[in-house]
Chain A
Amino acid sequence: MSENILELKKISKSFSGVEVLHEVAFALHPGEVHALLGENGAGKSTLVKIITGVHQPDAGEIYLNGEPVHFSDARDSRQAGIAAIYQELSLFPDLDVAENIFVGRQPLTFGGRVDWRRLYAEAGKLLDSLGVKLDLKQKARTLSIAQQQMVEIARAFSINAQILIMDEPTSSLTLHEVDDLFRLVRRLREDGTAIIFISHRLEELSALADRVTVLRDGAYVDTKPMKEVTRDDLIRMMVGRTITNLFPKQDVRVGDVVLKVENLTRAGSFYDVSFELRRGEILGLAGLVGAGRTNVARAIFGVETPTSGRIQIEGRQVAITSPQQAIGLGLAYVPEDRQLHGLIPAMPLTPNISLPTLHEHARSGWLQDKSERKSAYEAALQMEVRAHNMWQFARELSGGNQQKVVLAKWLSTKPRILILDEPTRGIDVGTKAAVHGLMSKLAAEGMAILMISSELPEILGMSDRVIVMREGHVTGHFSRAEATQENIISAATQDVTIGSVQ
């Protein structure tokens, strides 16, 4: 029994009558990296929150070092040596980097006042040891997502936990940042820390994890040593069926140029970006986080104003100054941060989906309820959104389902040009395949798709052509045949001064 540092037995939990965990078992050995796998909605995040005391189980027992424990809040579990990095970033946007690391347990002087000098010194030392360069006094609000993640990781590390839980720490990191993270995780494991690691990227799990536990629909499926299972085994365990084709991009006849971008520049964020996008084509936009890809997309969609350059849509020169205008021109943009830009969490599904098309459901200013409901329902059905009903709040859905709602919302505008920014970040294999299937179908129907992605398999699997950006410049342009992992990585990380790969 005591070989387990943490053991959960028959844990059950319901939220408002819906059982999200049913008699789940889980055992963690000291000094192992234990992967926790399952589709979105399988109950992983809830299980994590039970371990950290944020939620309390309705039934079941938790043993820590063989002793039964009960955590009534996050403070209890932290005192017991459990630290967690949650899926939703849990930083304080108005506090600076250093304070975010030590929030709730700032170092004190003998007099009991907050010792700011020591706080900054220790935060600096910690970030140095992690190899992260950040301005300690910068407000978290102004950090990029990858930088925010680094702060979260630093916070978890600073607790010196005996158990560290990482809920999708890599979903917004680039390859190199992931490598850095893995190095840290391995170092912690050597120090004897037990790590629960949640990720949807199966490739990285097989490289990192010692054992894997799979959940499906809130129930325990199995625990196996990582070496004894293949990727296909894991997918089968997770979805209960076999997904044969993960990247089902069909070959379609590519049509006319619909979007032409010439020397588009926004001083300070991207320079001289040129490309063409044709009907039926999926153009992959690869690169590291912060390379300026999202800014290009936002400039095309009229959110940011370019300082120079030209945009042509269907042969016509346009100056897009607002998203409304962009929508009118047949553009749709599905942003990266669906919580922040894509959804209104406190609104039900129907108004969320019908938001960009409201005018179509209005007669002289009055909303026609019936037509709004009907078209929203059809869009949700087409995207296979899993929800109780159309009046469920968007925030109650799992991440994958939220992403489907965002897609449903934009597809209801019937765009001719679709810009997808990290379309499958943080969503599970099953939903991912559904999203990819849909993209392929849309392209086959003649839609032109610009897809920003940091996930190489996705870029390689889905794109007809790939352009690569680094530090605001286009550094590579590859056809499907030329696009290999090596080519893309080297273009994404090369020195800009060397010149572009054409």
Chain B
Amino acid sequence: MTVQNPPAIQTSVSRNGLLWTLIRFREAGISLFILLLVVAVTLRAPSFLTVDNFQDILLNISILAIVALAQTMVIITHGIDLSVSSMIGLVAMMVAFVVKQYPEMPVILPVLLGMALGAVLGSFNGLIITFGKVPPIIATLGTLSIYRGLVFFYSQGTWINSFELPASFKLLSKGTPLGLPNMVIIALFVAVIVYYFLNYTRTGRDIFAVGSNPDAAQFAGIRKQRITFLVYLISGLLSGLAAVLWVSRFESAQTNTALGFELQTVAASVVGGVSISGGVGTVSGVLLGALLLGIIQNSLTLIRISPFWQLAAQGLLILIAVISDKWILSRVERTKT
């Protein structure tokens, strides 16, 4: 008997066809869920499927989308930033005070100021985690309280109200010189930048590498600490931007601004397919996640679910979305092998 040549190392089976492409598309599950939800809600409340209502939804989720994108970058490195809500609260209060003092300054200045302040707060998180070697969940749980405490300290418990803010600043988020509200355009702009950063820069790819296998990242010469620091800095920076938009949109800065918002950003990321164990996440997924959260909130009001039930219903829908997504994914994996 002759000994045959060995088989070449197996190639994976690749399948074609429209259905397959659609299933392989990572966001198939959540897209399907959104579609079903839209159909279901429209049947109950036809006013849901109108341009006005959707513009409203987009306006409502713009801030969430911006911070969820930041949260996503952190989660991809296998970290988490719980302090985003407090960073928003603190920056919002500081920027509002400055705007109140100098109502004449061009609106770009408070935007830049907010981002700079946020970056400082985010860097502090980054330092605690990299130099202090504190696990991210603990570090940002600490600064969640610290930054919120600083809001009280800074404001002495007072609020900044609508009449204290100049009209130009209020229009920053709501003006529609380009057809859509500025805030929606800013969110889309941030999404494009983050998409480019994550997919087309080495640093962006390093973020995935660090989250996927930290030891291997070190072997590959990636400076792990630097990447970790960077994602928390970016998280602060985008939270700072969100804070300015928040003050502009709600025309006030309060001690409880954005309280509890961190959980929504985590929810949007996770619903959007970002793996909490790191290494996996897409911009499109997170945007869909934020959209789903926005639609759920909006529709629960429209179909007149009692506000007492809204929070619970929201949580339930999020769980259903994630479970069905996991289920679809596992079906795909099974057919692959």
Chain A residues engaging chain B, CB cutoff 8 angstroms:
52, 54, 73-76, 78, 84, 86, 88, 90-95, 99, 103-106, 108, 112-114, 116, 131-135, 138, 142, 144, 146-147, 150, 174, 176-177, 268, 288, 290, 471, 489-490, 493-495, 501
Contact = CB atoms under 8 A, between A and B. Distances in A.
B336 A92 contact: no
B223 interface: yes
Contacts of B1: 490, 494, 501
A267 to B, nearest CB: 11
A104 B206 contact: yes
Given A138-B12, A495-B4, A74 B279 contact: no
B205 A106 contact: yes
Given A144-B10, A494-B4, 13 more contacts: A54-B218, A73-B221, A91-B213, A92-B213, A92-B279, A93-B212, A95-B209, A95-B212, A104-B209, A104-B222, A176-B6, A490-B3, A493-B6
B12 A106 contact: no
Contact of B216 (A92, A106, A138, A174): A92
Contact of A106 (B14, B202, B279): B202
A139 B280 CA distance: 11
29 contacts: A52-B219, A73-B218, A74-B220, A90-B220, A92-B213, A93-B212, A95-B279, A103-B220, A104-B209, A108-B202, A113-B200, A132-B8, A133-B8, A133-B10, A134-B9, A134-B12, A142-B336, A142-B337, A146-B9, A150-B9, A176-B6, A177-B9, A290-B10, A489-B3, A490-B3, A493-B3, A494-B1, A495-B4, A501-B1
A93 B205 contact: no
B11 to A, nearest CB: 5
Given A94-B280, A114-B205, A147 B9 contact: yes
Contacts of B220: 74, 90, 103-104
A75 B202 CA distance: 14
A489 B6 CA distance: 10
Which DSSP category, helix, strand, loop or mixed, fits chain A's interface? loop
B229 to A, nearest CB: 16
Contacts of A134: 9, 11-12
Nearest to A289: B9
Contacts, number: 120
B336 to A, nearest CB: 7
A23 B222 CA distance: 30
A68 B116 CA distance: 44
A147 B7 CA distance: 13
Contact of B200 (A90, A114, A288): A114
Contact of A471 (B7, B9, B199, B279): B7
Contacts of A174: 6
Nearest to B197: A113
A74 B212 contact: no
B79 to A, nearest CB: 15
Contacts of B10: 133, 144, 147, 290
Given A52-B219, A114-B205, A132-B9, A92 B212 contact: yes
Q: Which of A76, A114, A142, A268 has the most CB of B within 10 A?
A: A114
Contacts of A95: 205, 208-209, 212, 279
